[in-house]
Every structure is written in C-alpha cells, then in structure tokens.
Amino acid sequence: MFYRTLTALSVVTMSAGASSALTVSVDSDPATLAAATLGTLSGISIVSGTEALIGGSTQQGTYSGFNQTSNSSDPDLALTDGVVLTSGLGTFSTTENTSNSASASTGTGSFAPLVDLASTGGLSTSQNDSNVLSFDFVLDDPTENSVSAQFIFATDEFPTQGVTDIMGVFVNGVNYAFFPNGDLVSNQSGDPNDFFNSNPVGGTSADSYGLEWNGLTDVFNLIMLADGGGAVNTIEIAIADTSDTIFDSALFFTNLTAGTTTSGGGIGNEPPGTPPGVVPIPASLPLLLAGLGAFGLIRRRQSRI
C-alpha cells in the first residue's frame, strides 16, 4: 500500500473537486512543464537543469480544470492540474470533440525507449511525432522508495483505427504504464472498449465529454519504484504516433508524489474520490469528527453555566 498523510488528502481533494472549464496553456519550457507535474506537498525535488523536452513549440503544455462529466454509465473524469503531451498539437479543442481524426505532423521523430517498449508488446516500431518530458529528481524523505502519479490517455485512434499511438512513463529506465490486464496503454489492447470511454464527435451524445479525442481512458493511478537515500532518479514521460502521423493522441499527467510502497509498482484504479498515494479516510470519519465537535461545544457551554 502507498502511504501519505491525511493533510495531503484534504488539499488534493479540494483541488480535484473544484468545477471549472478545461484550459490548456501551450508551453515548450521544460522547467515549467516539469514543475507542473508535481503534486501538492509532493515530497520531490527536481534537479535543476536536468529538465529536457522533445517536442514542437505547440505540441504540449500545462492544463487546468480537468473535470469532465458524463450523463451515461461512463465515469466522470477528474484530474488535478498538470501537463499534457500530444502526438500532434496542444491546441486541441477543450469544449467538445470536433474531429474523428485530429492530425498534425511535428517532425519530432521517434524516442528509443518507446520504440523498444512497442517491440515488447508486439506493436509497430515505426514511430513519429514523439513528445517526451524528462527530468531528474530526488525524494525529499530518504526512507521513501517510490512515486505515484495519475494519468489519462486520450486518442482519436479509438475505436476505428487498426494502428495505435503509444505512451510510456519510465522511471530509471523502467516503464510502469500498463493497462490493468498487463497490456501496453494503446488502442490495440485486447478489446479497447474495456479501457476507453467513448467520446463521439459533436458533443450531442449523452456520454460526450467536453474536449477533443474519440476515446479517453479512466483515471489511472501509477506507482513507480524510485531510489531513496538521496539518490538521483530519472523520469521520462512519453507519447508518440506509430505507423503514421495522423489520428493523434494526448497524455494528461499529474500529481507526481513521493511515498512508500511494499509492491513492485504498477497501475490500477484508486477507490472513487481517493487521491492516489493517500490513506483513504473512512466514510464515517467526517460524521465522527462533527459529533466530537458538537460534543465539545456542549461541554464548553455546560462549563459556563
């Protein structure tokens, strides 16, 4: 289990619960983007000067207000503010899905770790338009041994395309981003409908979300092993087109936070409303605290009589 403090829970919960429109600010400064990946009270120090970016000037940016609601059986999707990387343009629609084939060629080529990752999963190793944010970091608490983050992978390859874009999140050279069934995060993981929520063009369907991309995954929690004891770690957050330069995709990434895990790292869903890396508060606790507060008030009043 991954542990953080209850104080962190209250801060992150309030941030995630705020309702606002999705905004993307295109940015190509790697230091700004790296800082935007960190969670509140992250317990992580970025090694200044190590921030690096592979990407066009308008290919990526920071985002805020990711609170997408659905009127169907698909889940509401919410992320704290963070960074978005794409295999096309960061200027995609943030109000409705406007195209089944959002496409742009950035000329940024391939990224070797993603090529190798695709090979292990039987996917095409012909890649283009890569977008990669990387930096070194140190865990502030030398006794901790991991980091967590949340992400959503969104793509216009879903549900019709026979090829797929690909993403990966590497810490010290190891990718920890897989679907719960162990497949790579892509449009070709078994039955994509198992992992993607549909977002039809036009915004007229009951299950539409208010942004580009035909399919969006659930919010996935990622736990990644890291070296403590003051050691320097390296993270690489990456996405790319495969086989073509069209039908682009996006990776929303947020809340990178240090912690301790007894597992080998990996991916999964947290209980609804529970920020990853935080000890869940029992549903009865707020009532208990309210009751204790009322009891204390009564006691104070009685003492004045």
E strand residue ranges, the chain: 23-26, 44-46, 52-54, 60-64, 66-68, 77-79, 82-86, 127-139, 146-155, 166-171, 174-175, 196-198, 215-217, 220-225, 233-242, 249-259, 266-268
- Residue 71 confidence (pLDDT): 65
- Report, as an integer, the average pLDDT of 36-63: 97
Q: Which residue has the higher pLDDT, 5 or 288?
A: 288
Half-sphere CA count of 207, side-chain side, radius 13 A: 12
Band of pLDDT at residue 244, cut at 50, 70 and 90: low
- Residue 118 confidence (pLDDT): 86
What is the value of pTM for the model shown? Answer: 0.78
Radius of gyration of the chain (CA): 20
In terms of Cβ atoms closer than 10 Å to its own Cβ (0-12, 13-18, 19+), residue 287 is: exposed
How many other C-beta atoms can be found within 10 angstroms of the C-beta atom of residue 134? 19
Q: What is the pLDDT of residues 199-235, one digit of tens each?
A: 777 665 555 787 877 888 999 999 999 999 999 999 9
Across all residues in the chain, what is the average pLDDT?
78
In terms of Cβ atoms closer than 10 Å to its own Cβ (0-12, 13-18, 19+), residue 296 is: exposed
Q: Quick check: 281 and 13 in contact, CB under 8 A?
A: no
The full length of the chain comes to: 305
Q: Which residue has the higher pLDDT, 66 or 11?
A: 66
- Residue 268 confidence (pLDDT): 61
Q: Which residue has the higher pLDDT, 101 or 3?
A: 101
- Residue 88 confidence (pLDDT): 86
Q: Tell me the pairing of strands 166-171 and 233-242.
A: antiparallel
Band of pLDDT at residue 177, cut at 50, 70 and 90: very high
Q: Which of 40-49, 72-81, 84-93, 154-163 has the lowest mean pLDDT?
A: 154-163
